[in-house]
Amino acid sequence: MNTTTLINGEHKSDSILFNIQNQDGDLYQRLCDKKATIALVGLGYVGLPIALEFAKSFKVIGYDINSARVDMMKQGIDPSGELVASDFENKDIRFTSVAATLDHADVIVVAVPTPVSKDNSPNLTPLSKACAAIGVSIAKGNIVIFESTVYPGCTEEVCIPILEKVSGLSCNSDFWVGYSPERINPGDKVNTLTNITKIVSGSDEYAEREIYNIYNHIIDAGIHVAPSIKVAEAAKIVENTQRDVNIALMNELSGFFDKLDINTHEVLAAAGTKWNFLNFYPGLVGGHCIGVDPYYLIHKAKTIGMDLNVIGSSRNINDAMPARVVEQVKDAMKAQGKDLADAKVLVLGATFKENVTDLRNSKAAEMSQIFKAQVNQLDIVDPHADNEEMLAYYKLQLEDKIGYDYDAVIYAVNHDEFVNIDWEFIELIKSQKVVVFDFKKLLGYPTSKISDVEYITL
Ligand SMILES: NC(=O)c1ccc[n+]([C@@H]2O[C@H](COP(=O)([O-])OP(=O)(O)OC[C@H]3O[C@@H](n4cnc5c(N)ncnc54)[C@H](O)[C@@H]3O)[C@@H](O)[C@H]2O)c1
């Protein structure tokens, strides 16, 4: 059959495309036949699971600039701590930190970090460097797919120009580009790569079709084809911005209700009985996605002279939460006739969320830093976190064990290891009077057995 495909605004027949691509058929078919290779650039939380999933049936190159991480992966160890040794078994994958290996790739998927700089503006250095390395290697007929979270327009305004400049090739006639945002959730064993609907988009209909076929091969939940790269970029960032804004609303309300002596969780339990009430709760917003992505939108808006006020205010509210927690503990202690400066404080949890090892952008750790500057003794316990990383990122020491005589216990991250902490345990480790800050209301209100407790939830 001789169908047509839109390239650079012109319809070209599939038979012409066939020649542009390869005598052996389209890229997807060649991946299936192992006559083509797919490479992952950036093997972190996002890139490694995708690489291993593709490696169940395709020939895969896993490239990362960090050779220490690559050495671990060669031994079947996930440096991010999400995957187990068996996930590496029986996979057609070659791990490398040598960029020139990308010469052998026909499809290249990019999953490098897209953090923010100190001033919260997008830091596109890893993405630009990855594009430059790929530009050196790409050849006619290759497809480059971006998975890193970016603002709408970034792929076309930043990535494609670097690829074209370095390679001397042209997008949509020599090589093709796509964007497919990643939606995995670290620590989540239910919503995993293959059972989350995948959004795909392409620089033209040919790219869209190939990228659809490639992801459709591994995704069980189905593929949503976005009409353009910009739509796919915006969709991902809006998902996370929506969460950030909704959590900020709850954080603002909980600060307000606290002053009115109203328990926010009781309000939410009552309001949640309405069919269309959205279930969001107050909390700390850290990590590399929800607390970062809205800044990409804010930046993009600024470049066209717009301020995103709701999104900006939400970021400010959520970023101020660690300091607010410390103030609430200080006030509660004052009510007990105690001074935070004399206190021995225990913080349970340091990672950015429960059951992950990742300490980067952790609001729990940031809160511990604020406590450290104000208390007599601070003990931080986190069975998932690495002490060396904690020292490097936050200059804070982790304790192996929970001690005794605490004036305040801050239940910040609900790792599975902490589920057995109950009021009897608090009774055991507290000083005569204690402030308990129970972020997610896991302990529930103190039972009558326990006395001299100032209990706070967000
Ligand atoms: N972690 C998540 O839950 C998640 C979810 C959805 C989307 N994302 C997005 O996916 C992207 C990747 O995030 P992540 O969490 O996997 O990051 P990560 O920090 O876990 O891993 C990134 C990897 O890329 C490597 N790297 C950095 N620069 C490189 C380069 N120039 N060339 C090759 N490798 C390079 C690093 O060494 C690291 O191993 C980001 O844009 C992020 O916003 C993350």
pLDDT in tens, the chain (458 residues): 333 333 333 433 343 343 344 444 589 999 999 999 999 999 999 999 999 999 999 999 999 999 999 999 999 999 988 899 999 999 999 999 999 999 999 999 999 999 999 999 999 999 999 999 999 999 999 999 999 999 999 999 999 999 999 999 999 999 999 999 999 887 778 888 999 999 999 999 999 999 999 999 999 999 999 999 999 999 999 999 999 999 999 999 999 998 898 988 889 999 999 999 999 999 999 888 999 999 999 999 999 999 999 999 999 999 999 999 999 999 999 999 999 999 999 999 999 998 889 999 999 999 999 999 999 999 999 999 999 999 999 999 999 999 999 999 999 998 999 888 888 888 899 998 999 998 877 777 776 667 788 888 87
On whether residue 289 sits in a domain, the answer given is: no
CATH number of the CATH domain containing 153: 3.40.50.720
Ligand 1 contacts CB of residue 44 (under 6 A): yes
Ligand 1 contacts CB of residue 46 (under 6 A): yes
Last residue of a domain, one of 199, 227, 255: 227
Rounded to the nearest angstrom, the distance between the alpha carbon of 94 and the centre of ligand 1 is 19
Ligand 1 contacts CB of residue 283 (under 6 A): no
On whether residue 236 sits in a domain, the answer given is: no
Closest C-alpha to ligand 1, atom 27 = 112
Q: Which atom of ligand 1 is nearest to the CA of 69?
A: 39
Which of 64, 146, 285 to mutate to test ligand 1, by most ligand atoms within 8 A of the CB atom?
A: 64
Closest C-alpha to ligand 1, atom 11 = 148
Ligand 1 contacts CB of residue 356 (under 6 A): no
Q: Which atom of ligand 1 is nearest to the CA of 149?
A: 41
How many CB atoms are closer than 10 A to CB 74?
14
Q: Which domain holds residue 85?
A: 4-227
Q: Which atom of ligand 1 is nearest to the CA of 360?
A: 19
Closest C-alpha to ligand 1, atom 7 = 182
Rounded to the nearest angstrom, the distance between the alpha carbon of 64 and the centre of ligand 1 is 10
Q: Which atom of ligand 1 is nearest to the CA of 184?
A: 5
25 and 139 share a domain?
Answer: yes
For residue 25, the model assigns a pLDDT of 57
Last residue of a domain, one of 203, 227, 251: 227
Ligand 1 contacts CB of residue 69 (under 6 A): yes
Rounded to the nearest angstrom, the distance between the alpha carbon of 26 and the centre of ligand 1 is 29
For residue 161, the model assigns a pLDDT of 98
On whether residue 242 sits in a domain, the answer given is: no
Last residue of a domain, one of 227, 254, 288: 227
For residue 365, the model assigns a pLDDT of 97
Closest C-alpha to ligand 1, atom 36 = 42
pTM of the entire structure?
A: 0.89
Ligand 1 contacts CB of residue 393 (under 6 A): no
On whether residue 344 sits in a domain, the answer given is: yes
Ligand 1 contacts CB of residue 111 (under 6 A): yes
On whether residue 254 sits in a domain, the answer given is: no
Q: How many independent structural domains does the chain possess? A: 2
326 and 432 share a domain?
Answer: yes
On whether residue 271 sits in a domain, the answer given is: no
On whether residue 402 sits in a domain, the answer given is: yes
Rounded to the nearest angstrom, the distance between the alpha carbon of 216 and the centre of ligand 1 is 22
8 and 124 share a domain?
Answer: yes
Ligand 1 contacts CB of residue 182 (under 6 A): yes
Which of 112, 144, 163, 184 to mutate to test ligand 1, by most ligand atoms within 8 A of the CB atom?
A: 112
Ligand 1 contacts CB of residue 324 (under 6 A): no
On whether residue 167 sits in a domain, the answer given is: yes
217 and 362 share a domain?
Answer: no
For residue 237, the model assigns a pLDDT of 96
For residue 190, the model assigns a pLDDT of 85
Which positions are catalytic?
289
Closest C-alpha to ligand 1, atom 24 = 42
Residue linked to tokens 């006020």: 309
43 and 177 share a domain?
Answer: yes
